[in-house]
């Protein structure tokens, strides 16, 4: 699901510091601002200059949860000065947790320099406190004092009472002892799996991994800052981790996550089940377009029950529109699709746009979604948290749900040649009409195959102006080896380093 985040609905909270003694009392509440220091942008958020605020979070609202998703974008400290404190992320913070004795969440913060503060800064007593340069992950429970956020250590505050605990879990792999640099932009990707593993990469390198985190299913993504003015996050997207389906440049993933390519041009049956959702039925078709020796998914269409939805991308820069048709009407209002809630996300104000439409199947299949998304002109279809109950009877390009076998239409014969397999699942008249308009070829015309798809493709890739080493470096941050391979191919085939963002 790649779609730019609109921060206008996010909320902010700060740790109350006036309840305890100590010099941190001069750190007031943070005044987070949506936009950039130089202009308006709903896909950017920052703290103003000269604001050394208390520990503070800026968090996603209800409906945008972290488990099963990754949030990525860019971050920097937009200042040149003497401040050298913390900025980063929080995961699992809920409304009111700074005052909640039962709170439990995680913070990943990045300090620019070592810094020692005297006893006057420590309301817990016991002497001065020290913060360490570099990035680290902490677990927060209850309502710790600000000095505990500062030195990442648990202290007994307010007599014998311990209002909260801060425990440092890990230092970053590469920047655990390295501070951030003013005005330097860092690419980040923060991922949270459904089994509660938290992973953060910075500039494509894995820095933090927290396994078995104690998170609720609706745990939020948050940005975090403490005593640091002018941190900024922008070009942020939130996308699902599950990758059953097909990518914009047609790398297909079977239900068992086998990757394969088919680069013919035609309409293809991605998934079909006439009995889906107690007889409503499901049809998902994709339309590919050939460009010399490779093709991409130009548009996708889905039917459930009597509702139809079609989506296509756009090659235009700064095009923030989601180009879709609901029941054949362009950009018709859609809040439900065949009775299932629909949420739309549109990236605003960025050169490269990522938009998506989510169909939430939870009322019938808990935790499951179908996601139609676009990245530039490329379209992607994903089935999030798929189950045998939902998709056990599907047929099409994604193969057999239980075995992943690429079966022919007879449901018995396995096809190992993926060119033959693509031709097998070209849309036939019996598959129904999902797209608004026909596009050549239509059966009985056969799919148009690329020029010498096996032999000449390697030579053409080798002749590209982007070095394969650069493509490999750009794609190196992807966790899945097969995704990295697909990513490198896409960069080389399209001659566009931006294609990394499609992953």
pLDDT at 369: 92
Query: Cβ atoms within 10 A of the Cβ of 437, count?
Result: 9
Confidence category of residue 119, pLDDT binned at 50, 70, 90: confident
Tell whether the model's pLDDT for residue 195 goes beyond 90.
no
Q: What is the pTM of this model?
A: 0.54
Q: Which residue has the higher pLDDT, 485 or 41?
A: 41
**272-276, 304-308, 496-500: the lowest-pLDDT one:** 496-500
pLDDT digits (tens, 9 = 90+) for 211-251: 999 998 889 999 999 999 899 999 888 877 754 555 555 56
- Residue-level pLDDT at 25: 67
When pLDDT is cut at 50, 70 and 90, the band that residue 458 belongs to is very low
CB-based burial, 303-332: b 16+ in 10 Å, e otherwise: bbeebbbbbbbbeeeebbebbbbbeeeeee
- How many CB atoms sit inside 10 A of residue 65's CB? 18
pLDDT in tens, 289-327: 887 667 888 999 999 999 999 999 887 877 778 899 999
Helices 468-475, 481-494: axis angle to 10 degrees equals: 140
Q: Taking residues 108-133, what's their average pLDDT?
A: 84
Q: What is the pLDDT of residues 433-457, one digit of tens each?
A: 999 999 999 999 999 987 654 444 4
Non-local CB neighbours of 423 within 8 Å, separated by 6+ positions: 264, 446, 447
Provide the 10 A C-beta neighbour count for residue 462. Answer: 9
CA torsion 439→444→446→448, rounded to 10°? -30
Answer yes or no: are the C-beta atoms of 225 and 364 closer than 8 Å.
Answer: no
| Nearest of 122, 140, 157 to residue 24 by alpha carbon | 122
Mean pLDDT, rounded, of the chain:
84
- DSSP output for 118-174: -GGG-TT-SS-EEE-SEEEEEEEEE---HHHHHHT-----STT---EEEEEEEE-TT
Stretch 37-48: mean pLDDT? 84
pLDDT at residue number 124: 73
> Is pLDDT above 80 for 264?
yes
Q: Which pLDDT score, from 0 to 100, does residue 225 have? A: 95
Please check whether residue 129 is in contact with residue 85, taking contact to mean a CB–CB distance below 8 angstroms.
Answer: no
- Higher-pLDDT residue of 210 and 78 is 210
* 109 pLDDT higher than 80: yes
pLDDT for position 397: 93
Report residue 19's pLDDT band, with 50, 70 and 90 as the boundaries.
low
- Considering 142-151, 392-401, 487-496, the range whose residues carry the highest mean pLDDT is 392-401
141: its two tokens:
């429970």
Residue scoring higher pLDDT (459 or 408): 408
- CA torsion sign for 418, 423, 426, 428 is negative
Q: Which of 92, 66, 35 is nearest to 349 (CA)?
A: 35
Per residue in 320-368, pLDDT (tens digit) is: 788 999 999 999 999 999 999 999 887 666 665 678 899 999 999 988 9
Element (H, E) at 459: helix 455-462
Cis peptide before 337 (omega within 30 of 0): no
pLDDT digit string, tens, across residues 134-171: 999 999 999 888 888 988 988 766 554 567 889 999 99
**Which CATH code for domain 7-240?**
2.60.120.200
What is the pLDDT, as a whole number, of residue 499? 59
Characterise 3 by phi-psi region: left (phi > 0), alpha (psi -120 to 50), beta (else): beta
What was the pLDDT predicted at 160? Answer: 47
Length of the chain: 503
Closest CA to 204 of 479, 453, 477: 477
More confident of the two residues 490 and 12: 12
Domain ranges for the chain, please list them. 7-240, 245-446, 464-503
| Rounded Cα gap, residues 431 and 440, in angstroms | 16
Give the tens place of pLDDT for each residue, 59-89: 999 888 898 888 888 999 987 666 899 999 9
């Amino acid at each position: 699901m790649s779609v730019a985040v609109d921060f206008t609905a996010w909320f902010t909270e700060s740790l109350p510091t006036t309840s305890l003694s100590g010099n941190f009392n001069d750190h007031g509440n943070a005044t987070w601002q949506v936009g950039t220091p130089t202009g308006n942008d709903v896909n950017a958020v920052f703290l103003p200059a000269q604001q050394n605020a208390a520990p503070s979070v800026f968090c996603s609202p209800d409906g945008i949860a972290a488990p099963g998703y990754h949030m990525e974008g860019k971050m920097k400290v937009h200042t040149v000065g003497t401040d050298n404190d913390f900025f980063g992320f929080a995961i699992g913070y809920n409304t009111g947790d700074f005052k909640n004795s039962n709170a439990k969440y995680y913070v990943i913060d990045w300090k620019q320099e070592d810094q020692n503060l005297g006893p006057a800064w420590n309301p817990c007593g016991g002497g001065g406190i020290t913060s360490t340069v570099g990035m680290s992950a902490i677990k927060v429970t209850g309502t710790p004092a600000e000095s505990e956020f500062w030195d990442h250590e648990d202290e007994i505050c307010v007599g014998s009472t311990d209002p909260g605990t801060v425990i440092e879990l890990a230092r970053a792999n590469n920047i655990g002892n390295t501070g951030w640099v003013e005005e330097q932009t860092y690419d980040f990707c923060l991922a949270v799996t459904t089994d509660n593993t938290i992973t953060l990469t910075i500039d494509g390198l894995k820095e933090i991994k927290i396994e078995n985190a104690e998170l609720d299913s609706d745990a939020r993504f948050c940005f975090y800052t403490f005593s640091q003015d002018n941190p900024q996050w922008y070009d942020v997207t939130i996308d699902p981790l599950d990758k059953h389906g097909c990518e914009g440049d047609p790398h297909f993933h079977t239900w068992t996550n086998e990757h394969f390519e088919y680069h013919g041009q035609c309409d293809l049956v991605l998934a079909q089940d006439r009995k889906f959702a107690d007889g409503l039925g499901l049809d998902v078709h994709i339309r590919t377009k050939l460009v010399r020796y490779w093709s991409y998914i130009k548009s996708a269409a889905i039917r459930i029950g009597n509702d139809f939805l079609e989506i296509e991308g756009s090659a235009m820069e700064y095009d923030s529109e989601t180009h879709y048709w609901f029941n054949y009407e362009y950009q018709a209002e859609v809040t439900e699709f065949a009775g299932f809630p629909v949420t739309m996300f549109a990236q605003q104000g960025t050169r490269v746009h990522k938009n998506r439409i989510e169909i939430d199947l939870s009322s019938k299949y808990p935790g499951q979604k179908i996601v139609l998304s676009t990245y530039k002109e490329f379209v992607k279809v994903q089935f999030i948290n798929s189950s045998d109950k939902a998709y056990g009877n599907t047929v099409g390009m994604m193969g057999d749900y239980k075995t992943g076998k690429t079966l022919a239409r007879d449901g018995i014969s396995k096809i190992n040649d993926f060119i033959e397999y693509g031709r097998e699942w070209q849309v036939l008249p019996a598959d129904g009409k999902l797209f608004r308009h026909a596009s050549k070829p239509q059966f009985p015309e056969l799919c148009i195959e690329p020029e010498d798809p096996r032999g000449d493709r390697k030579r053409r890739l080798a002749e590209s102006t982007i070095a394969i080493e650069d493509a490999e470096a750009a794609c190196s941050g992807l966790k899945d080896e097969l995704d990295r391979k697909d990513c490198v191919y896409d960069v080389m085939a399209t001659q566009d380093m931006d294609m990394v963002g499609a992953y």
